[in-house]
Chains A and B, each alone.
Chain A
Amino acid sequence: MLNAEEKQLIEQAVRHYEHPRAACLEALKIVQERRGWVSDDDVRDVADALAMSPAEVDSLATFYSLIFRRPVGRHVILVCDSVSCWIMGYERIVQHISERLGVGLGETTPDGEFTLLPVVCLGACDRAPAMMIDGDLHGDLTEEVIDQLLVTYRGKKME
């Protein structure tokens, strides 16, 4: 069930458009920001709120790789695999994170701390290789920087 706040935010988003369904992506983001991911039930609730069918909502939700349709860890690491970062050795970066966390791309650590995902260009080519953790951009990555970051985020709890 959507809570009162989510409902209200979705209604607000709907008001910006001619047709409620146009606010679908907005609504999914509202849900994900609060719950970390979008469950099957959430899909149904969003569909109800926008007079859409669950299939229509899910079609959109599954199209966008940053709408998570499965639970993710407390921190989501998005490693850029686009061209500049690739030139600057993103494979090394992924491999290092994988070794440290013991998970591959698309996986979540058993303790539920981190999910590791690839992402396309973060717009930080000048600081490649780059990655994003929970919305914070980190560039000029090296093994040391990564180790430091992982320690910092492990300590952070989601507010």
Chain B
Amino acid sequence: MPVIYIDDQPYEVAAHHNLLHACLGLGFDIPYFCWHPALGSVGACRQCAVKVFRDEHDRRGQIVMSCMTPVRDGLRLTIDDPDVRRFRATIIEWLMVNHPHDCPVCDEGGHCHLQDMTVMTGHNYRRHRFAKRTHRNQDLGPHIHHEMNRCIQCYRCVRFYHDYAGGKDLNVFGAHHHVYFGRHESGALESEFAGNLVEVCPTGVFTDKPARRYYARKWDLQSAPSVCGQCGVGCNVLFNERYGKLVRVDNRYHYEINGYFLCDRGRFGHDFVNGEERIRRPLARESRGASLRETSADDALSRATQAVAGRRVIGIGSPRASLEANFALRELVGADSFYLGLSDAEFKSANLSLALLRELPTASLHEIETADAALVLGEDLLTTAPRMALALRQLARRQPTAESIVACPVPEWNDQAVRELVQQQKGSLFSATPGPTKLDEDAAAVYYGELDEIAGLGLAVAAAVDQPSAETDSLATQIATALRNAKRAVIVSGGNEAVMQAAAAVVRALRRAGRDAALCLTQPEGDTLGLAMLGGRALSEVVRDGAECVIVLENDLFARLPEADATAFLERTKTLIVLDHSITRTTARADVVLPAATIAESTGTFVNYEGRAQRCFSAFAPQPDVRESWRWLDALRSSLFWPTFDDVCRAMAQAVPAFAKAPDAAPSAAFRQIGNKIPRQSPRFSGRTAITAQLNVSEPKPPDDPDSPLAFSMEGSREQPPPALIARYWAPGWNSVQALNKFQQEIGGPLRGGDPGVRLIEPEAKP
């Protein structure tokens, strides 16, 4: 590893980094704007200046942009020299010339990289006394608020939106001091990843529009680490609460999964937590035909317990409920009476996924991104696993880069140079889908056909991998050649059994040929795979069998069964008990409804498409009558078995061998840092004593949390928590999300202490 000298002190750094990356990684603070670990360097903002010296005798030195300077052995530099300090202060003063200085009304205030960098450079007095240039803002749709005057022209937005994510409708307009970042005309942003602009833009130009409704500063938010439940990818998120409302959802960095970016469904799709449709009180009806009325928890529980006692009860689980909730239901009704709560197609696909994942290795999103070839069979990933599509796009961009920079050595982080080299070349990404998808433009070749034709193509590819032939005119041979030539290949599929089998056949063929190949199967919901691992019967059987008493866990049967079947089944059911967080057509027919906590208010474990168990923690305590489903279900038993989350999780790990490692997904509730719990609130959390003063002037005791090592409080450990428990990114001087730099082993690499979660499935075929 090369050694560089910062103020004459030697430091070992990685050879493939630029100087900014290396210095930040060593813990030095250099202000920067346009560089981003996932987007590379363009040298646009000129903020990251340092002084380098020719040798140890050179005392004059030369100012360079650290983000554009490759690391080399023996390089000598200083970060803290009067010349560079003055240079950086001048740059930020220029950047701020037209900035409106409207922090008090800006939604970025308090977690703004521009604020942090301005303070860091020491620019604290405004000399510019003239008119500022102003812009007209655009309406960018329901998710992103636009305030162009705050722009400092770092180009990060276009580089993420257009270059990285492939969005076509946002760009930069004009030149010199008239640059404008936005759309060609007002209108909703089209990219599935537009929400990342909120975090990518270092200023308040692009901000989270839904969060504006609940106006709150970052330091006033109560937050907890969690997982997105909107599809089976299992991206890590932070849920942030204030006044009992979910204010915003932020990306939570996970090196192997989502990295720095989420899809918009994950970021903006959790509105139901605050929704009008929420069930906040238990409901019950006197008799069939009477209407549902609010009742007390005790009453609802005693009705439910009576209904359950001594009857054959069946339980219907859910792929959107936690493992623990599904397990609690299975324990209550018995394994024989537990049904998975999946449609027929979902049931088959989930079980087949499980069988295939037990046989063949799979790949994380990071492994997809860094693979050399990929084949997508049958899936429109932008609908079924959006973040995976973004990872595949990076594969398609990265692979020609890797080849080009061999021929013409420019560092991979030098984004502009790399893009000049690569031009419109595409990597070995192939896609076969029933119709056009947005991933097509990144693919080297595309095929459209019926699902059985797609399966046929898959099998042909597998055959061509087995028997490479000279003729290359068929698509199957072309794909097979690319896959065989790849050091690492991934095959992505999901949904349809025949297509999934074909995908598995390609992976098997590649492995027979001695290649490193992995199978990635999308899952429709946050815990589909976990549910299949728990195991249970198919919903279609229940329709046939019928039952006197049915408990439905966080599920709407009308979304799983044909309309007539669902209606007939529920009519035959004498007592229907439903646990859910929001009104559905199923809750409307229930005799007892128990209000379930949403993912943002619960502690639980979810298993993503790779078989990775991940823990979500409640960001805020639910309202008094709302409980986590596993708690309600435990209360329905003759006596309480599981007073805390760890009890139910451990019971599950013992009862179900597949989940033996599930408790390791995160530290247990007993975990302490120097004797302290980890606070969900920042030390600056304001209004604690006044927040409920309209109800009672005495400050209420904060809710206890027996389920996790996190506390609903600003008091507790100030240390950096273990990765599964990081509730916010903050470091001294770094209030923005870019404080994340201080949480990683290497910037852009794994989190300190390793990325959270445990893989529960070990394939027979070792990768």
Residues of A within 8 A of B (CB): 18-19, 40, 43, 52-56, 58-59, 62-65
Contacts between chains A and B (CB distance < 8 A), count? 39
Contact B171 A59 (CB under 8 A): yes
The contact sample of 21 A-B pairs, CB cut-off 8 A, is: A18-B423, A19-B424, A40-B184, A43-B184, A52-B168, A53-B171, A54-B169, A54-B185, A55-B168, A55-B170, A55-B171, A55-B183, A56-B168, A56-B171, A58-B171, A59-B171, A59-B172, A59-B173, A62-B180, A63-B174, A64-B175
Chain A residues near B173 (CB-CB < 8 A): 58-59, 62-63
Q: Once the chains are docked, how many angstroms separate the CA of A18 from the CA of B169?
A: 24
Q: Once the chains are docked, how many angstroms separate the CA of A60 from the CA of B180?
A: 12
- Residues facing A in B448-505 (CB within 8 A) are none
Contact B184 A53 (CB under 8 A): yes
Most chain-B CB neighbours within 10 Å: which of A54, A55, A64, A65?
A55
Chain B residues near A19 (CB-CB < 8 A): 423-424
Q: Once the chains are docked, how many angstroms separate the CA of A65 from the CA of B162?
A: 23
Contact A63 B175 (CB under 8 A): yes
Residues of B within 8 A of A (CB): 162, 168-175, 180, 183-185, 423-424
Say whether, besides A19-B423, A19-B424, A55 and B175 are in contact (CB < 8 Å).
Answer: no
Q: Once the chains are docked, how many angstroms separate the CA of A62 from the CA of B424?
A: 23
Q: Which residue of the partner chain, among B162, B168, B170, B174, contacts A62 with CB atoms under 8 Å?
A: B174
Q: Once the chains are docked, how many angstroms separate the CA of A30 from the CA of B169?
A: 24
B182 to A, closest residue via Cβ = A55
B174 to A, closest residue via Cβ = A62
Q: Which residue of the partner chain, among B162, B175, B184, B424, contacts A58 with CB atoms under 8 Å?
A: B184
Min distance, Cβ A57 to any Cβ of chain B, angstroms: 8
Chain B residues near A40 (CB-CB < 8 A): 184-185
Say whether, besides A55-B169, A55-B170, A65 and B184 are in contact (CB < 8 Å).
Answer: no
Min distance, Cβ B440 to any Cβ of chain A, angstroms: 13
Chain B residues near A55 (CB-CB < 8 A): 168-171, 183-184
Q: Which residue of the partner chain, among A43, A53, A63, contacts B169 with CB atoms under 8 Å?
A: A53
Chain A residues near B162 (CB-CB < 8 A): 56
Contact B168 A53 (CB under 8 A): yes
Q: Once the chains are docked, how many angstroms separate the CA of A18 from the CA of B424?
A: 10
Chain B residues near A58 (CB-CB < 8 A): 171, 173, 184
Q: Once the chains are docked, how many angstroms separate the CA of A65 from the CA of B171?
A: 17
Q: Once the chains are docked, how many angstroms separate the CA of A18 from the CA of B172?
A: 24
Chain A residues near B169 (CB-CB < 8 A): 53-55
Q: Once the chains are docked, how many angstroms separate the CA of A62 from the CA of B185?
A: 13
Chain B residues near A18 (CB-CB < 8 A): 423-424
Min distance, Cβ B436 to any Cβ of chain A, angstroms: 14
Chain A residues near B184 (CB-CB < 8 A): 40, 43, 53-55, 58
Min distance, Cβ B687 to any Cβ of chain A, angstroms: 43
Min distance, Cβ B189 to any Cβ of chain A, angstroms: 11
Q: Once the chains are docked, how many angstroms separate the CA of A69 from the CA of B588?
A: 57
Q: With A53-B169, A59-B173, A63-B173 given, name 15 new contacts (CB 8 A).
A: A53-B184, A54-B184, A54-B185, A55-B168, A55-B169, A55-B184, A56-B162, A56-B168, A56-B171, A58-B173, A62-B173, A62-B174, A62-B175, A63-B174, A65-B175
Q: Once the chains are docked, how many angstroms separate the CA of A91 from the CA of B676?
A: 72
Q: Once the chains are docked, how many angstroms separate the CA of A43 from the CA of B173?
A: 13
Q: Once the chains are docked, how many angstroms separate the CA of A63 from the CA of B173?
A: 6
Q: Once the chains are docked, how many angstroms separate the CA of A65 from the CA of B174?
A: 8
Chain A residues near B171 (CB-CB < 8 A): 53, 55-56, 58-59
Most chain-A CB neighbours within 10 Å: which of B162, B183, B184, B423?
B184
Chain A residues near B170 (CB-CB < 8 A): 55
Min distance, Cβ B148 to any Cβ of chain A, angstroms: 14
Min distance, Cβ B342 to any Cβ of chain A, angstroms: 39
Closest 7 CB pairs of A and B: A53-B168, A59-B171, A55-B171, A62-B173, A55-B184, A54-B184, A62-B174
Chain A residues near B175 (CB-CB < 8 A): 62-65
B172 to A, closest residue via Cβ = A59
Chain A residues near B185 (CB-CB < 8 A): 40, 54
Chain B residues near A64 (CB-CB < 8 A): 175
Q: Once the chains are docked, how many angstroms separate the CA of A95 from the CA of B169?
A: 41
A59 to B, closest residue via Cβ = B171
Q: Once the chains are docked, how many angstroms separate the CA of A58 from the CA of B170?
A: 10
Chain A residues near B183 (CB-CB < 8 A): 55
Min distance, Cβ B308 to any Cβ of chain A, angstroms: 58
Chain B residues near A56 (CB-CB < 8 A): 162, 168, 171
Chain B residues near A65 (CB-CB < 8 A): 175
Q: Once the chains are docked, how many angstroms separate the CA of A53 from the CA of B161?
A: 14
Q: Once the chains are docked, how many angstroms separate the CA of A109 from the CA of B423?
A: 44
Chain B residues near A62 (CB-CB < 8 A): 173-175, 180
Q: Once the chains are docked, how many angstroms separate the CA of A40 from the CA of B168?
A: 17
B178 to A, closest residue via Cβ = A62
Min distance, Cβ A6 to any Cβ of chain B, angstroms: 20
Min distance, Cβ B288 to any Cβ of chain A, angstroms: 57
Q: Once the chains are docked, how many angstroms separate the CA of A64 from the CA of B173?
A: 10
Chain B residues near A53 (CB-CB < 8 A): 168-169, 171, 184
B158 to A, closest residue via Cβ = A59
A52 to B, closest residue via Cβ = B168
Min distance, Cβ B182 to any Cβ of chain A, angstroms: 9
Q: Once the chains are docked, how many angstroms separate the CA of A58 from the CA of B174?
A: 9
Q: Once the chains are docked, how many angstroms separate the CA of A62 from the CA of B174?
A: 5
